[in-house]
Amino acid sequence: MKLFEKIVNPREIRRKLGLNQQEFWTKIGVTQSGGSRYESGRNMPKPVRELLRLVHVEQLDLTKVRKEDFDIIDYLRETHPDLYKSLKKAVKARENQQPVAAEENN
């Protein structure tokens, strides 16, 4: 999903995650009543759409993210592009293996 791409149906995303409106919307700083309006078709501001994407689509825990993390990523990308690409590839491979590993434990 591209930055600020229109979230077509936030209600569908919320339901797929099994969350009620209060749980879903407060994670991104929106009141339940405000979220209800967005789910009914009211236009979401770009920052709200982006927070929804990061938290509920990308599953990013914003409480764990710090500016320093982004500074490190930018530095690594600029000064060691090969290492950055290698690490990015390793993370993707690990993400693809996690569901398989979980099934093996059951």
Rounded to whole angstroms, the Cα distance separating 43 from 82 reads: 41
Residue that the structure tokens 């149906």 belong to: 9
DSSP-derived letter for residue 63 is G
pLDDT tens for the 106 residues of the chain, in order = 454 455 678 999 999 999 999 999 999 999 999 999 999 999 999 999 999 999 999 999 999 999 999 999 999 999 999 999 999 999 989 888 865 444 444 4
* pTM assigned to the model: 0.69
**Structure token digits, residue 67:** 């500016």
Q: In sequence order, which residues have a C-beta less than 8 Å from that of residue 73 and are 6 or more positions away?
A: 84
What 8-state DSSP symbol labels residue 61?
A: -
DSSP, res 28: T
Q: Residue 87 phi/psi, 5° resolution?
A: -65, -40
* CA–CA–CA angle 26, 66, 59 (5° rounding): 45
